[in-house]
Structure 1
């Protein structure tokens, strides 16, 4: 994959763009919910597997957010989608940093290398170079 490619998901769109050593996925044009998030992470996991990618930069720009009580279910879905093998930097463009940080904790407890950011440059630095 050498150029940007946009695909439709159930209630959102993802634009994939290869970066140096990682895949960038911009998720947009939708309203977040537990079902949307599970579908999104499944699609992202499948794309990483099909491209042989082990580093993923997710830039999410969706309205609304997943309820805190649903985050355990989401972490389970991410684990099932293969995210224990994918270093993931997640950039929240809207305002749910606190909820996403709680989700980060749940994912890290399951062995996933994931961090939440509000800045794409910082996220890319962590993704490529580490802590």
Structure 2
């Protein structure tokens, strides 16, 4: 375990915390867009590679949402960033569960193991123990 650290991204912040068995990333303090989502997924991929994390819990608390039409390029960025080697639990803390679930389907088609949740407890259980 390590102390949480917060890094600034272009239009958002991420608080990283290494916990037993997984990396926790809280994405906050911004407004979502394709550019913001692409940037934070790149940062998440970089952090996973730097720390050797193979399990990632992402909590997203950004205003607005990415348009459905922009999800395909976002999934491409995730695939290029090596997210297929990481098990991801994605928690949508605000309101875009439907868009996140659509993204989950596209991720799975690209070999990325991800599941969308509306709460952290269920996400953590799935991340650590599976279905």
Query: What TM-score do you get using the length of structure 1 for normalisation?
Result: 0.99
1:29 maps to which residue?
Answer: 29
**Over 6 Å off, 4+ runs:** none
Tell me if 1:104 matches 2:101: no
Query: What TM-score do you get using the length of structure 2 for normalisation?
Result: 0.99
CA RMSD of aligned residues (A): 0.7
Written as runs of structure 1 = structure 2, the 5 A alignment for 1:58-97 is 58-97=58-97
> Any unmatched runs of 5+ in structure 2?
none
> Any unmatched runs of 5+ in structure 1?
none
Q: In the TM superposition, what whole-angstrom CA distance separates every residue of 1:13-57 from its partner, at most 9, and x where no partner exists?
A: 000011110000000000000000000000000000000000000
